[in-house]
Structures are given as C-alpha cells and as structure tokens.
Amino acid sequence: MSKPPRPLSPVTDADIRLLRVFKTVVECGGFSAAEVELNISRAAISLHMADLERRLGLRLCRRGRAGFLLTDEGRMAYEAALRLLAGLESFRSEINTAHGRLRGELNIGITDNLVTLPQMRVTDALRGLKTQAPDVRVNIRMIPPNEIERGVLDGRLHIGVVPARRALPGLARFALYEEESQLYCGKGHPLFDAAPETITRDAVETADAVAPTQAQQPHALNATATATDREGVAFLVLTGCYVGFLPTHYARQWVERGAMRALLPDSHHCSVTFHAVTLKGAQPNLVLERFLDLLSRPVPKKTRQNI
C-alpha cells in the first residue's frame, strides 16, 4: 500500500517564481511559446517545470509530439496558482494604498475588436494612467466576455469591458460604449452587386450566414457557420459566401475598400451597450480607483479613431 503524499510545506519565494513560470507556460500554450515571454531557454523552462512538479508532488502537464496538455492535477494547480498570485498582487496593492503610491499592476480584460470604436475612453484612460503613474504595469487580455467576468470575480482581472447582458451577482458595472452593428456581405456574394431596391428580406434571411457563438443573432438568419469572435465573422463574410453581423466601426475599413456592403441597413441593424465591470466590495486599490476615475471622464467632442 503506497504512503499518502506529505502535506505541502509553506510556500517560499522560489515556489512563487516557479508558479509564475508555470502560469506563463499555460497561458502561452507550451514551452516554445513561453520562451519569448519569459526570456529564458526552453531547457530552462523544462527544468523549472520539473522542479515544480517535484515540489508539488503532481504531474502538471504532458509534453511531446502531441503538444502541450495540462493534466487534471495541472488544471487544478493552475487555478490555485492564479488565486495565489492574485492574492499577492492584492496584498501589494493594499500596502501601496497605505503609502498612497501608485504602483503595482492593472489587469484588464477586453472583448475583441473594440479598438476601432470612434470613442477613445479606454485609450485616454490608459494614457492618463501612464502619465500619472509611470511605474504601474498594465496587462491587457483579449478574451471572451464570460472569461472576463470570471476573471474579475476570481481576482485575476481588476476590470473588464464586456457587452451588457444579464448582470452577474458580485459585479459592479457602468456603461462605456454604445456599439452599432449591421448585416454585411462580402464582394463576390450574389447580393453584393444587387440594387438596394431588389434585395428582399427573404433573400437575406435565406442566404448562408455566420453566427457568433458568444451572442444571439439580432435577426433570424440561415446560420450555416459559426465564429467565436468578430474577426472570425469578418473572415467568413469576406469569402463572399456568407452574410453576418459586424460592428459598423469594425466593418468600415472593408466597406471603404469596396470589399463589404451593408444589407437592408434600415431594418437589419442592432445596438449593444458595453460596460466596464469590477468586483463589488473589492479591497481598496489606488491604481484601479485612478483608472476608473480616468475612464469615467466625459469623452472629448472631437471624433476619435480608436478606443
């Protein structure tokens, strides 16, 4: 009968360093991709991972010809590491708050392809934060809205930017952007060169369409393809084989080049509000508070080209 594993001894600074390496490897998807991020060799990363596995007494991942894959124990250790590292950052933020100094990290999650919005609220706030607190390290992750909300709830993210939907308990939110979307087809599609008065609702709604997996379609369409994000929708629309909804600010670049056109713009359009979300009742964090103050300032009247 095998002996039960010994309880883990107190976590040391060396353990924290190994866990940071582990976190980076997981988020990069393997040793090779993590080399650039960590600025150390793949051999060194392999040694660090082996040290961590011995330290924890767990097999964290499988690596070989099939690629990098977390074990069940590895996924559990990764989630625990995220909570530990978030707790350390929270401790540092609270100490900096006690000193009244703007230092530490600001971890932001943003829904994809908002960068072409004409308002510059996020960009202006980041510029202001860099000017006022040059020592703050900003980390931006482009991930789906549900992952952003989970990240804010479990402390991995300080703030997120997501489309408005059912409010999750534990999240505070305020409106940032109003995003307009229309239905588009690409050059080469049968409807692309049709005169506007000849395009019928039936022709549009029976055409092959691409549907987003993260949101509901605002109109009934013949969805024969899906995409996890707006860039995926754009890829398929640009084939000339599908119609799909895209934000007008994002599609403008292709419309101006004659590669896309809007279909039935008077009826097939929708609007989505984007919110900034933070954790309700979170410990005081001067960096986040300053960023939120900058983010909530009125948008300048002049037209902007990015967020």
* Residue 262 and residue 214 share a domain: yes
* Residue 188 and residue 237 share a domain: yes
Model confidence at 119, pLDDT cuts 50, 70, 90, reads confident
* Residue 293 and residue 187 share a domain: yes
- Amino acid identity of residue 136, one-letter, is V
Give the chain's count of helices (H) and strands (E): 10, 11
* Residue 186 and residue 77 share a domain: no
> How confident is the model over 77-114, as pLDDT tens digits?
999 998 888 888 777 776 766 566 678 899 999 987 78
Distances (CA, A) of 288 to 83, 90, 131: 18, 11, 15
Model confidence at 215, pLDDT cuts 50, 70, 90, reads low
Higher pLDDT, 122 or 307: 122
Q: Is the pLDDT of residue 28 over 80?
A: yes
Give the CATH number for residue 74.
Answer: 1.10.10.10
Model confidence at 125, pLDDT cuts 50, 70, 90, reads very high
> How confident is the model over 272-294, as pLDDT tens digits?
888 999 998 877 788 898 999 99
Residue 7 lies in a domain: no
> How confident is the model over 181-208, as pLDDT tens digits?
999 999 999 999 999 999 999 999 999 9
Distances (CA, A) of 252 to 193, 226, 260, 262, 300: 18, 22, 9, 10, 22
pLDDT at 97: 61
* Residue 301 and residue 239 share a domain: yes
Eight-state DSSP code of residue 100: T
Residue 95 lies in a domain: no
Q: What is the mean pLDDT of the chain?
A: 86
CA nearest 137: which of 84, 68, 89?
89
| The total number of structural domains that make up the chain | 2
**What domain range includes position 243?**
104-307
Give the CATH number for residue 279.
Answer: 3.40.190.290
Model confidence at 37, pLDDT cuts 50, 70, 90, reads confident
* Residue 180 and residue 288 share a domain: yes
* Residue 148 and residue 285 share a domain: yes
Eight-state DSSP code of residue 228: S
What is the spatial distance between Cα 55 and Cα 18, in angstroms, rounded to a whole number? 10
